[in-house]
Structure 1
Amino acid sequence: MILIYTHKVTPRVRYIFKHIFTRILQVQIDFTRKVEEFVAYNGPKFSYTNVPLGKEFFIQSNELLFQQGIKDVTVVVQKWEEVPCFFAAVEASEIPFDIFAASFFLISRYEEYLPQIKDVHGRFSATESIAYQHGFLEKPLVDIWAYKFLTALKHKFPDFEHVTRKYQYISTIDVDNAFAYKHKSFVRTIGGFLKDASQFKIFTIWDRFAVLFNLKKDPFNTFQKAIKLKKKYKITTIFFFLIGDYTTFDTNVSASKRKFKLLIKDMVDYALVGLHPSYYTMSNSGMLKKEKERLESITNTPIKRSRQHYLRVSLPETYQQLIDLEIDEDYSMGYATHVGFRASTCTPFYFYDLDFEIQTPLKIYPFALMDTTLNDYMKLTPKQSLGKIRDLKNEVKAVNGVFITVFHNESLSNYLRWRGWNRVYNSMLKIVGND
């Protein structure tokens, strides 16, 4: 156990220290505000305060963890050896910045509460983040800091023993369109034929016809392939089903269709299933509640996992809605336009609500990459995509974190814009598995 002296133990202090020590480093800690108790303790210890008590291991504290609410924060990025850092500390500090305040700033998504320019979907833009602007978006910086800090502690306390956590991989699959052509309404089917005809898409017209008359399998029906690979590589797989009503942005098969319900029930038997709340649920709690109850009526089990469609998250409102509906886990923490680590960590963490200054029960699982990001935004080839996947996996493996990917059932189809991608998911699983 490590004993920490600090002049004030706030909810922010407890929250971020627990994330770094308990969740990342697997180390037990305790706090004291009594100098005599700190001095008498013979085990590993350090002080986290404004000025050192004596010649102990000392980290100078920034004011951020002792404040309440949102205030203007000045972030000046410097280097700790070769690693970016901010919130500089005095020379007496064992490391040149406040690792705890900086980690809290990143993990709480403090910058997403500050004035900003949102993108066309009302989302916080990757390019607005300090991680992007200072070149560390593709690094789990908080985890890197934690392990470097541990090295400094072990140098000071050579007999200190700890358990190292194990690397994990989780595959998540979003089901925005369970079927390309099957089980759509008559109006949507006729509309699809007319649209293809107006654009002279002869081959697509034939595919649509062949699938509807059972001459070919629906190209987006790749679920058995995903289950087969799940069993082969012994990985955790989660399917997130979009079952909202039809809108411009929500075009899945109607949740009233029997075949769609059977598909969802089938997946429950082989993998984990979560909700993919539709586009407009970001700020509509009634719609979110309706969709959760709809999915629960199909699966006959409580739904505890969620990922927002289009990754539309508005902090803290979206997460507050999920908490009210007793969702335990959210998988929306990432960017559609860029790969990397939105919260600068590859360790699942509990959402800290800056409105109420409390750690909530909602656990956030940050993902590192999405298939549409690689293909549509970054315009990478399948081979280049696998290279980027390997790079990100190596970053997570170096800190024994949790590597989470987002694919769609469509990208396993090798159809239309996913042509050439038929082996990417399989090849990725060889690269990223829990070895």
Structure 2
Amino acid sequence: MLGIQIKFTSKIEEFVAHDGFKMSYGKQALGNEFFIQNTDILLEHGFGELEIKVQPWGNTVCFFPVSENSDLPFDIFAASFYLLTRYEEYLPHVKDEAGRFPVSESLAYKESFLKTPVVDLWAQNFKKVLRDKFPEMEFKNAQFQVESIFAVAQGFVFNNKGIIRSVVGWGNDLMKLHFHRFFDRVKSWMKIKKDPFDVFDDLVSLIKKHSISAIFMFKVSDFTLYDRNINYNRIPYRSNIKYVSDYAKIGLLLGHYSSQTLKVLKTEKFRLENIIHYPLENVLNARYDLGIPEHFNTLAELEFDNDYSMGYPDDLGFRAGTSFSYLFYDINLEITSPLKIHPYIFNSNVGKKYGSEELKKEIAKIHERVKEVDGTFRAIFKNEDFSEYYNNKRYYSLLKQIHEIE
């Protein structure tokens, strides 16, 4: 994160003889070097229950404290490792109704630092301490960025669904006295009105006008009880995918079963690659069930480069304690995966939890914190958020707020 070129050695003689900047990580200092006292966490195999005591450190909090002999008051590497690897998700925990690790079980939520990028702040504070010790040391300067991900679970709400599904939908509208939807459905069929979920022209116009960094995640799964999209072979749907790919990156939004079954995931990946005609790099788990570590290992096996599922779909904040991208590490196998994790901070699902003004204020505060550490503010929206059925004014306003556009 700091862009420091490093070399490791376990030979004391080589370390002592070195004339340049040097740091030791162990139980005691070897000389007058920069010294961080370690805990045993990074030396262990596998994982186990840990006693964690959170305490203040400058403008943030920290844990895994060490003695006063250390140049930092805690084991910054072990604490970062704990959050970035999602160590706590390997341990036994209560799952939510969807079988996921709930935000309420996380250390960050319990200790009230969920909405603070603690790992990023640790890096910034570490940088200041290092600069005091080594004034001539050079660091890489990161740049604040904003990126929006648009999850397309249903490309159309009325059109291109086949006769049986359309007639059933028409009947449901009448039975439930949803006359507005009924007439919208008819107008969409007659091409008098655009399908409410087909908002791609408007989003692309915004992207082009303001040079927004965006990724569209499309679902191409088979129709099931959980996946209600139209057939991926429908020409209007394929046309929208190709159209969007000219202005934004494309990724795969996993279907219900592809997040659980390798064969289904492989099939969906092949389908989308067949549409866009280039290797697929990006993926988003629509169920937000990370299934650590097996699911991430499966993505790496299928040669996905980037996953955008690291966050909580039902609350704002930093699931891994950072806004920066990083390579996934499997604690079980003790290997670094080639899969890069891109954490998100905001998911439009939280709109159900927060009032409009409260949500704007919370986003503004977190946005400022990310800007202070030169991180990346990632947000996940759904295409339906921008339809007339889902308070599109609210979500357009949030999208513009996050990207700082008028």
- Regarding TM over 0.5, the answer is yes
Q: Give the Cα–Cα distance (whole angstroms) in 2 for the partners of residues 426 and 87 of structure 1.
A: 38
1:421 aligns with 2:391: no
User: Which residue pairs with 1:367 in the alignment?
Assistant: 344
1:300 Cα deviation after fit = 1.4
| Structure 1 counterpart of 2:394, one-letter code | W
Cα pair 1:244 1:278 within 8 Å, conserved: yes
The CA RMSD over aligned residues, in Å, is 1.6
Give the structure 2 partner of residue 431 of structure 1.
404
Structure 1 residue identity aligned to 2:213: T
Find the partner of 1:324 among 286, 301, 306.
Answer: 301
User: Is 2:166 the counterpart of 1:193?
Assistant: no
Kindly provide the amino acid, as one letter, of the partner of residue 335 in structure 1: Y
Query: Structure 1 pair 425/183, CA: closer, same or farther in 2 (3 Å)?
Result: farther
Aligned CA distance change for structure 1 residues 111 and 335 (closer, same or farther; 3 Å): same
Contact 1:87 1:102 in 2 (8 A): yes
Deviation at 1:421, TM superposition (A): 2.1
Aligned residues: 406
Deviation at 1:212, TM superposition (A): 1.4
Deviation at 1:391, TM superposition (A): 1.8
Q: 1:59 aligns with which of 4, 19, 36?
A: 36
Deviation at 1:401, TM superposition (A): 0.9
Determine the structure 1 residue equivalent to 2:358.
384
Q: Measure how far apart 1:282 and its partner are.
A: 2.3
In structure 1, C-alpha distance between the alignment counterparts of 2:192 and 2:82, rounded to whole Å: 56
The amino acid that maps onto 2:134 is F
Choose which of 184, 209, 214 in structure 2 pairs with 1:232.
209
- The offset of 1:432, in angstroms, is 7.5
Asked whether the 8 Å contact 1:410–1:418 carries over to 2, the reply is no
Give yes or no for contact 1:276–1:306 (8 Å, CA) kept in 2. Answer: yes
Cα distance, 1:41 vs. partner?
2.4
Report the Cα distance in structure 1 between the residues aligned to 2:3 and 2:145, rounded to whole angstroms: 15
Once the 2 structures are TM-superposed, how far is the Cα of residue 89 of structure 1 from its aligned partner?
A: 0.3
Q: 1:310 to 1:268 in 2, by over 3 A?
A: same
Contact 1:279 1:312 in 2 (8 A): no
> Distance in 2 between the 1:390 and 1:246 partners?
39
Are residues 1:398 and 2:372 paired? yes
| Displacement of 1:425 | 4.6
Moved over 6 A (4+): none
Do 1:169 and 1:432's aligned partners in 2 also have CA atoms closer than 8 Å?
no
> SS of the counterpart of 1:340?
coil
Structure 2 alignment gaps of length 5 or more:
none
Q: 1:308 is matched with which residue?
A: 285
Residue 114 of structure 1 corresponds to which residue in structure 2? 91
Q: Deviations over 1:241-294 (max 9, x none)?
A: 011111222111211211111111112222111000111222211111111111
Q: Determine the structure 2 residue equivalent to 1:34.
A: 11
Alignment of 1:255-294 (within 5 A): 255-294=232-271
**In the TM superposition, what is the alpha-carbon distance from 1:430 to its structure 2 partner?**
4.3
Please say if 1:351 is aligned against 2:328: yes
Residue segments in structure 1 that go unaligned for 5+ positions in a row? 1-23
Letter aligned with residue 365 of structure 2: D
Aligned partner of residue 423 in structure 1, secondary structure: helix
Mapped contact 2:281–2:305 kept (Cα < 8 A): yes
What does residue 412 of structure 1 align with? Answer: 386
- Partner residue of 1:46? 23
Partner SS for 2:52: coil
Within-5 A mapping of 1:146-157: 146-157=123-134
1:158 is matched with which residue? Answer: 135
Separation (CA, whole Å) in 2 of partners of 1:229 and 1:369: 19
**In 2, Cα distance between the equivalents of 1:301 and 1:49?**
47
Aligned 8 A contact 1:386 1:424 in 2: no
Question: Counterpart of 1:217?
Answer: 194
Residue aligned with 1:174, SS: strand
How far did residue 126 of structure 1 move? 0.8
CA offsets per residue over residues 292-320 of structure 1, 9 Å max, x none?
11111111111111001121220111111
Partners of 2:208 and 2:247 within 8 A in 1: no
Q: Distance in 1 between matches of 2:405 and 2:362?
A: 12
Residue 62 of structure 1 and its aligned partner are, at CA, apart by 1.0
Q: Structure 2-normalised TM-score? A: 0.96
Q: Which range is displaced more, 319-328 or 25-34?
A: 25-34
User: Aligned partners of 1:308, 1:132: CA distance in 2, in Å?
Assistant: 22
Cα distance, 1:388 vs structure 2: 2.5
What does 1:86-125 align with in structure 2 at a 5 Å threshold?
Answer: 86-125=63-102
In 2, the alpha carbon distance for the partners of 1:69 and 1:198 equals: 56
CA deviations on 1:220-251 (whole Å, 9 max, x unpaired) are 11111111111122122110001111122211
Percent of residue pairs identical:
37
